[in-house]
Amino acid sequence: MAPQKRPVEEVDSLLNDVRVVLCDIEGTTTPLSFVKEKLEPYITENLESYLDAHYDEEEMQADVKSLRELAVKDKEAKTEGVVEIPDTTDSNKADVIKALVKNISWQMGQDRKSTELKQFQGHIWREAYKRGKVQAELFEDVAPAMQHLMEEGIMVCTYSSGSVDAQKLLFGHTTDGDLQELISEFFDTTVGPKNESDSYKNIVQKLAQDGQEMLAEEVIFLTDIPAEAAAAVKAGMKCALVERIGNPELTDEDRMNYPVIETFDELFGDDDEEDMKRLATEGNGDAGDDDDEDDDDDLGEEEEEGDEDEAEGEADEA
C-alpha cells in the first residue's frame, strides 16, 4: 500500500497568504550526500593542515577560544567523550592543534550542531570554495522555484544549523551559479536550536523590519525533519515536509501530520506550471552574473567562477 499523505488540495494552497518561504538546507535544498560525501570529508582530510596554516590569525584564535569554552561547558556537564583544549601559550601550538583535531573530529562524529563547531566549519569551507575544491549541489527544482518566488514577491529565507557564512558560501558557489540575490535573509542557530519553537518566533521577529508587522502564519517552513516541523508549527508557522531521495524515510504519522512535497514545484498551482518550465530551461546564470560584481570581495568568486556561457551550461546540466 502506498504511504498516505494529506490531501493534495492542502498542498496546492500552501502559499496562500504566505509572504516568506523559510527553507532548511541539508536534505531540503541540498542533497544529504553533498554534505556527507563532500563537505564533511573535506574537513576531515584538511583539518590539521588548515589549523596549522591559519593558527596565528585573529579569526582562528577566536574560533579556538569559542571551541575551548564549549569544551569547558561540556566537561562541566559531564558530556561523554569531550576533549578539552589547553590554553594557548607561546610554546604549545602543537598541543593545542592536536586537541582541536580530536575535539572537532569528536563533535563531527556525534553530528553535533553547536554554533561553535558550525562557525569553524564555515571558515574552512570558505577556503574550499575559494580554491574551487568544492561546488555546492542543489536539487534541480530549487533554483527555478526560488526565482519564481522572488518574481511573485515572496521572500525566500534559509535557516540551517550551518553558520550564516557557510550558507552564503553554499548559495554563492552552486552548480546553478551564485543564487545569493534570491535569498532575503539567512538564519543560523544564533536565533536558537532548530527543534525549539522559540527559535522560529525569533525569526519572525527579525523578519519584521521598519515597523512592518510579520505574522508567523505568513511564513511557511520547508524541512525534511519532522521535529523541526513540529517546532515551527508550535510557533505558529505553516510547514511542509520535503521528501527527497536519500533522506530518512517519513512515517505514516509524519505524512498525516504535515503536507509532504517531493519538489518545490509542488508549492505552486497549475497556473504557474509554464513559468516553472521556463525558469528551469533558462537556468539562473543571470542571477549569478549580477552577484559576481557585487560579492567578489566577500567570496573570492573571481578565482573559481567561469564565464557566463559556462555557468548557464552548468545550470542546464544540474
| CATH at residue 108 | 1.10.720.60
CATH number at residue 165: 3.40.50.1000
Model pTM score: 0.78
Write the pLDDT tens digit of every residue in 78-128.
Answer: 999 999 999 999 899 999 999 999 999 999 999 999 999 999 999 999 999
Do 254 and 230 belong together in one domain? Answer: yes
Residue ranges in the chain whose pLDDT is less than 50: 1, 8, 11, 271-273, 275-279, 284-318
> Residue 1: inside a domain, yes or no?
no
Q: What's the DSSP call for residue 4?
A: P
Residues 190 and 123 occupy one common structural domain: no
- The strand order across the sheet containing 260-261 reads 185-187, 155-159, 20-23, 219-223, 238-242, 260-261
Which alpha helices (DSSP H) does 77-196 contain, by range?
93-109, 115-130, 142-151, 164-172
Number of domain units in the chain: 2
pLDDT recorded at residue 302: 40
Statement to judge: residues 232 and 126 lie in one domain:
no
Residues 90 and 177 in one domain: no
Give the range of the structural domain holding residue 122, as residue numbers without chain letter. Answer: 35-130
Residue 209: predicted pLDDT:
78
pLDDT on residue 275:
47
Residue 211 is assigned to a structural domain of this protein: yes
The residue from 130, 152, 186 where one domain ends is: 130
Q: Which residues pair with 241 in a beta bridge?
A: 223, 260
Query: Which domain-ending residue is among 96, 130, 164?
Result: 130
